[in-house]
Structure 1
Amino acid sequence: MVTIPAPFPAARFRRMRASDARRRLMRETTLTVDDFIWPIFLQAGENDETPVPSMPGVARLTTDRAVKAAEMAAGLGITAICLFPYTDPASRTEDCAEAWSPDNTTNRTIRAIKAAVPEIAIMTDVALDTYNALGHDGFVVDGEIVNDETVEALVKMTLAQAEAGADIIGPSDMMDGRIGAMRAALERDGHQNVTILSYAAKYASAFYGPFRDAVGATAALKGDKKTYQMDPGNTDEAVRLVARDLAEGADMVMVKPGMPYLDICRRVKTELQVPTYAYQVSGEYAMLKAAEANGWLDGPTVMLESLLSFKRAGCDGILTYFAPEAARALKAGA
């Protein structure tokens, strides 16, 4: 039922905008620190970090510094972080064996953070691209990114991360059938409480460029990812993919990228009514930071406005590199 307002001047919409108190009383959508998952880039070494030039304010962190970052995040009220490793090119192989090593950078960092900050939820990335000499999310055989063999490897990667103490598994590979295989393996090996946040609708987007710089995949990538990531022109397919991943055992679902795909977020939330997340990806972050650096936009204001747009579109949470900055801004404005 649509309410028809009284005619002007009986209805003056500006009345409810006349003061901050009234605007807050009628605000439909709010943003809180509980909405954030903070992505952190990792690197090998000790007490060191490497800035990512295409992502101002973002750096790869060694495990000890990642622990301090997690402590800082918990202090700001951020409830979850997501770990993405940089793998030295010399350690990248076509069989991607480092991906499921119990002592790789991600798994060592999970254990260290859990020992120091047990209350923070740790999400991990499940895909082969950062370990693959060819830069793809799956195995490459005769020029083809093969599905079923890749799923077997992703299951091994999932179990290694669960054993290390990961709370949330984030499959970002877009292989068919991987959620069912991961869920079955987690159940079988006693990890019933490990959550799966599936990148169910991940598009073949040009907005990922700075992220690939951060994890060292830009130079390694041969070809593109259009045979396994989604076509940007499709929406019905996104809903089908989300429904499939839920049927296979995903607990939450992700749309990636974020702001260019808010319509997908709204469709998923409205039609399926499930925990829905979006990833405000590296390209989105880099654009806003570049505009702020050039004085073209008010950085703190557009940051919060962009994050609010995800909530308004129906998202329950956002993966965002802005998480600490946004948390501080929300605290200052409280």
Structure 2
Amino acid sequence: MSNLDVRPVPTVCGGRRSVPGGPVRDVLPGRTVLLGESTQVRRVLPTLGRRMVGAWCFVDHYGPDDITAEPGMQVPPHPHIGLQTVSWLLDGEILHRDSTGSVQTIRPGELGLMTAGRAIAHSEQSPAPHPALLHGAQLWVALPEEHRRTDPGFEHHADLPVVTAPGLRATVAMGELDGAASPGTAFSPLVGAEVVLAAGAEAALPLERDFEYAVLTLSGAPEADGVRLDPGALLYLGSGRDALRLRGDSDARLLLLGGEPFDEEIVMWWNFIARDSEEIVQARQEWEEGVRFGQVHGYDGLRLPAPNLPPGPLKPRGRAR
């Protein structure tokens, strides 16, 4: 999925300076962004106050939207470098195409994992015909230095491990949770899991003390560590935790995101993650010239043009703010 802001803000994040050494409870607001032609999303990461959670550096939450009479998601071919995209659906279907030749329909509870590496282009669409509802999240994972120029590729995993407790079911999309490991390829220690809480449930999820964590409410209004969260709210939890207590007065769904704090500083602009301004400028130029990223075949429409770069070099702005 693309960052379709016409004036994307360059962001430098990473490093451990702003990672708290113990637990915190920071509720972070998102902002509404138009994605493609017709889909509004809530962008919850990066946001004011927090730019990364482990290697997770970008989170959009969209829906639930009734797209019965609408085209749904229509994101034209666009480029990525230096990251992985994680597609996660609760309702609906998304048709993924990319420049490696992958064509895959992603459905609820399935992992669509694209590794951009040195360069890839892809598109995402609601197929025609499509289900009435569209609801999900799109996330990016920053690749560490030793892997950020790896070959591009796409993985689809329909059979994912599940962690259960009375009133709780957690599907592990990325990384490992309570001994259950996702088959998705990860390049740094992290976890991403959808947690479903039944009405009246109270449970505790085991955590890694060395990880930092956040939770995003997808539906309902669960409590996480005693904090009640409305849909679209991101609660940053810091580090130094052994467990996370969850409670649901009604049925609820949330995403648990975590990972070892990302040591490296990265520059993120538009759909690119690099290490300096020069890399961003070069990647943009090569996309505009039609080289490096390959072709996305089968998409009926034009590819996405790159926005204008801001004046001057892309400068560090810090991991947290």
Fold shared by both chains (TM-score > 0.5) = no
Bigger share in helix: 1
For normalisation by structure 1, the TM-score amounts to: 0.30
For normalisation by structure 2, the TM-score amounts to: 0.31
Greater C-alpha Rg: 1
